[in-house]
Structure 1
Amino acid sequence: MFIAPRPSIDDDPLFAVRVAFMPLIGLSLAMALRSPLAMVYPTLMFSLLAGNRKAFDPKRVFGAPIIFSAMLWLMSGVVIALQGVPLALVVTMGVIYFLAFYLIQRTGNALGMLIIVAAALMTIMGLGSYPSMIFLRNEMTKAALLSALVVPVLYALLPTRTQEINVDHYSPAFSYGWGRRAAIRTGVMLAYSLYLYTILDFSNVMLAVAGMFVLVHSTRRSLWVEAGQRSFSVVLGGCLALSVLAILNAVGHLAVLFGLVFLITLWLGNKMLTGRLPSMAYQDAASVIALVGSALASSEPGFAFMQRACLTVLGALAAALLVTILDEVLIKENSEPSSFTR
């Protein structure tokens, strides 16, 4: 699957400052709207901004939030239409997963990942509680659409140096085995969704998505690299979150929270530009905002972090292991692949 390249400090020297402001804006908007899911706003809005490269691109800035929101509503509609028939829902979601994974394997287009995330979140929450699903859909839609309003303002106030629009180049990782790879990942994704259904609630909805990204990678090496990076991101973000919580226990003031969040995200944004690891590792670690928000709502923030970190890391590693084994057993390199493997 296509992964956004590392942002260039020559093209965009204010990148880190821009992304550091977004969590503060998202958290402020969540508080103004009195949303019980305050962690969704800074995390989702940050992710939609941090994926941009080079100059302001209206198609990407406005298109991504609209497409993601449309996917949430479409998938929630499917869940509602099939309510009371769990088997039909599982089969339908399996078909959707397969088509999305096939799109990723065949073209490398990351649109398939948006479909998978939207389908998984709506299915998991819908199986537990339809009101919870509707509420999550509405809050994520608000956050996505608000990002379409805020991002242009940030680009206007903190412009890029380059005027070049970034162009994504999609390509499949393999020229064979697309169907089988998609089928393998569909089966693992269904099992992972059922696992998330048993442990997922509003407090860990954003980090649990991280395990889904592991499944889209095709090679054995990229799977384990992805799993390792996700694990590192959770540990790094969690350590930063615990540091914030420790300081807030001593100085419990909103201004202190905002200041710490800004400084941490600024540091992570700078690491996206200059760090040794891929930029996505530091971007994922910035989900610390969600971790802080959910931990503050818990009576045991330390336990909340450990539980979340363990579930996310174990889910990512288990998914990587299972997909690797199935790929090795079921997919053989062929000079003339069959129609199904193609």
Structure 2
Amino acid sequence: MSRPSADDDPHYGIRPGLTGPPSYAALPLLDPALPPIVAARLLSRVAAMITRPWIMTWLADALRPVPLDYVIAMWGLYFAGFLMVLRSGAQTGMLIVIVTVLMSVMGMQGSTTAETIRDGFMQAAFVALVVGPLVYLLVPPRTADKHVDDPLPGHGNAVTGAAIRTTVLLALSVWLYAVMQPTDMMMAVIAAMVLVFPTSRAVFSEAFQRLRATLFGAALALAALMGFTLSPHLPIILGLIFLGGLWLGQKMLFGPHPGMVYQYAFWVILALVAGALIIQNAGHAAFTRIVLTVTGAFSAACAVALLDALTGWRPLLKENLV
């Protein structure tokens, strides 16, 4: 994700702070089974958040009785998403991978869990559809031009690169199924996203960024929950979430790390606090996220980097030597 321009959108940093409180205000109204997915609103494309989980739920129900068919279908969907990203840098490929990871891992636990995740995506889509335009109406950008990311596609034999990432992610999905509770399903998103980037160097760089973002988000979430413990009133936690989002939003404009680090840290704050307030302990959740990120996502990143080096599917470009 490229850094937004402070000249074109000087108030960009305010919007993350403003999106948090309305999302939390929606939780008592929606009463979701998995509040973190609604509070964090991981995916911004509303149509994708509605249609793809329905398709994946149907597919999981149809194929679960035959494990081999289930695994082959998941491999094919992972491969399609990774191939799209490596060939064109399209965000749609990222969404395919993320939704497939969440739905396939949770679908292994049965129809009820898959339907819960599906309904959580629909509730998150509804919240995003309301909160997003409202925030932009309250704090409009200076320019009428929309901020557009400029993803860089990979080079070389993208089929080989996609096959490597697909196979590693499939193995990681089985591991996630063995160790992850439904309330910790955001770990699947971290694991998937560190594998999307096309070079070994980028994979490790992204893995460190995700770990850094998780640490930032966990620390701010624990600080907000400590403040809420001292004064357990809804306006207090909403105000602390706003301040955390405001700080990270400003860091997206001017911070030393890539903008995605701060954006992802804010997602972690929203998901951790939502889970802690309703269904889980924040300290345990933060620890679980960090441990799973290190052991799962980093191990997968190492495997991808090794296989990339062994296959040599992507030519070594000059910029990679800098």
TM-score bin (small chain) = over 0.9
Whole-Å separation in 2 of the counterparts to 1:171 and 1:255? 42
Whole-Å separation in 2 of the counterparts to 1:332 and 1:300? 44
The gaps in structure 1 that reach 5 residues or longer are 49-63, 336-342
Give the match's secondary structure for 1:31: helix
Q: Paired residue for 1:178?
A: 158
Whole-Å separation in 2 of the counterparts to 1:303 and 1:146? 27
Give the match's secondary structure for 1:128: coil
**Does structure 1 residue 78 correspond to structure 2 residue 59?**
yes
Q: Paired residue for 2:295?
A: 314
Q: Paired residue for 1:197?
A: 177
**CA apart distance, 1:263:** 0.4
| TM-aligned CA distance change 1:247 to 1:154, over 3 Å | closer
Q: Paired residue for 2:122?
A: 141
The 5 A counterparts of 1:252-271 are 252-271=232-251
CA distances 1:29-85 after superposition (whole Å, capped 9, x unpaired): 12211223222222016x63xxxxxxxxxxxxxxx2102321111111211121311
Cα RMSD of the aligned pairs, angstroms, is 1.9
Match of 1:25 among 17, 22, 25: 22
Whole-Å separation in 2 of the counterparts to 1:73 and 1:209? 18
Q: Paired residue for 1:339?
A: none
Aligned AA (2:111): Y
Deviation >6 Å, runs of 4+:
none
Whole-Å separation in 2 of the counterparts to 1:291 and 1:167? 29
| TM-aligned CA distance change 1:218 to 1:112, over 3 Å | same
**CA apart distance, 1:288:** 1.0
Aligned AA (2:18): F
Give the match's secondary structure for 1:276: coil
**CA apart distance, 1:169:** 4.2
Give the match's secondary structure for 1:224: helix
Aligned AA (1:314): T
Q: Paired residue for 2:92?
A: 111
Q: Paired residue for 2:320?
A: none
**Does structure 1 residue 120 correspond to structure 2 residue 117?**
no
**CA apart distance, 1:303:** 2.9
**Does structure 1 residue 34 correspond to structure 2 residue 31?**
yes
Whole-Å separation in 1 of the counterparts to 2:98 and 2:281? 28
Whole-Å separation in 2 of the counterparts to 1:166 and 1:297? 35
Is the CA contact (8 Å cut-off) linking 1:240 and 1:288 kept in structure 2?
A: yes
**CA apart distance, 1:170:** 4.8
Aligned AA (1:210): I
CA distances 1:187-223 after superposition (whole Å, capped 9, x unpaired): 0010111111112223212243112111111112111
Q: Paired residue for 1:280?
A: 260
Whole-Å separation in 2 of the counterparts to 1:74 and 1:172? 27
**CA apart distance, 1:298:** 5.8
Q: Provide the TM-score with structure 2 as the length reference.
A: 0.92
Is the CA contact (8 Å cut-off) linking 1:233 and 1:284 kept in structure 2?
A: yes
Q: Paired residue for 1:52?
A: none
Match of 1:206 among 174, 186, 193: 186
**CA apart distance, 1:114:** 0.5
| TM-aligned CA distance change 1:43 to 1:299, over 3 Å | closer
Identity, in percent, stands at 35
Is the CA contact (8 Å cut-off) linking 1:230 and 1:313 kept in structure 2?
A: no
| TM-aligned CA distance change 1:15 to 1:168, over 3 Å | closer
Q: Paired residue for 1:55?
A: none
**CA apart distance, 1:156:** 1.7
Whole-Å separation in 2 of the counterparts to 1:298 and 1:83? 28
**CA apart distance, 1:150:** 2.5
Question: How many residue pairs are counted as aligned between the two chains?
Answer: 315
**Does structure 1 residue 9 correspond to structure 2 residue 2?**
no
**CA apart distance, 1:300:** 4.7
Whole-Å separation in 2 of the counterparts to 1:333 and 1:301? 41
Aligned AA (2:81): A
CA distances 1:270-298 after superposition (whole Å, capped 9, x unpaired): 10111010000011111211112223346
Q: Provide the TM-score with structure 1 as the length reference.
A: 0.87
Q: Paired residue for 1:87?
A: 68
Aligned AA (1:267): W
